[in-house]
Amino acid sequence: MRSQVVPYPAGYAGLLMDDDLIGLVVSEARDNMGKAVDHTQSEFGSIRTGRATPALVEHLKIEYYGTETELRQMAGFSVPEARLLVVSPYDKGSLPAIEKALQGSDLGITPSNDGTVIRLAFPVPTEQRRKELVKVVKQKAEDGRVTVRNVRRSARQDLDALQKEGDLSSDELERVEKDLDKITHDHVASIDKLLAHKEQELLEI
């Protein structure tokens, strides 16, 4: 490989050696694939399985004193029972606003307010509902896999461009692509593992 100094990709400043450019392509691909896995996990967390979990409500926006604030910044959470979520506001004066937001959310659960905390009792989903949710999570998992593979395709296009410019030999391209394929496989496997866990949650009685 030549040791020439080449311009940094658009949007960056400074100069990079060829090896740095290759490392940048792979590093950015790894980071973006990781974000795809994290997004898929977040999507799974928002799907109600019948089990109580703060993930279902912690990002809910609460209108309080004219400002929208995420519930997780206004309250603590506890799960004393598998299907019971307790929301404990840091400011008791926010109870009505939190209760109103929970009632207006898509949870489909009526909150119980005792003046100090709010309780959310989650019913057991029907078998049909569980099967429907399994289809939903499988689609979200596939969306995540597609995103990961799109990141790989984009990175390969960047590597091909480096080769055409003479900054990457055929042997080096093959080696880097193998590394990229392994990174891709690992992230797809992570999504598959998350899916298997979520399916188990949905189908358990």
Q: Is pLDDT at 114 greater than 80 in this prediction?
A: yes
Q: What is the pLDDT of residue 52?
A: 83
CATH of the domain at 140: 1.10.132.20
User: Checking DSSP bridges between strand 61-64 and strand 67-70, what pairing results, if any?
Assistant: antiparallel
pLDDT tens digits along 46-89:
787 777 888 889 889 998 888 899 999 999 999 998 889 999 99
Domain that holds residue 145: 5-45+127-203
Q: Does 92 lie in the same domain as 113?
A: yes
Enter the pTM of the model. Answer: 0.65
Torsion, Cα 15 17 22 25, to 10 degrees, reads -10
Residue 6 confidence class, pLDDT cut points 50, 70, 90: very low
Q: Does 147 lie in the same domain as 117?
A: no
Average model confidence (pLDDT) for the chain? Answer: 86
- Two structure tokens written together for 40: 């898929």
Q: Is pLDDT at 98 greater than 70 in this prediction?
A: yes
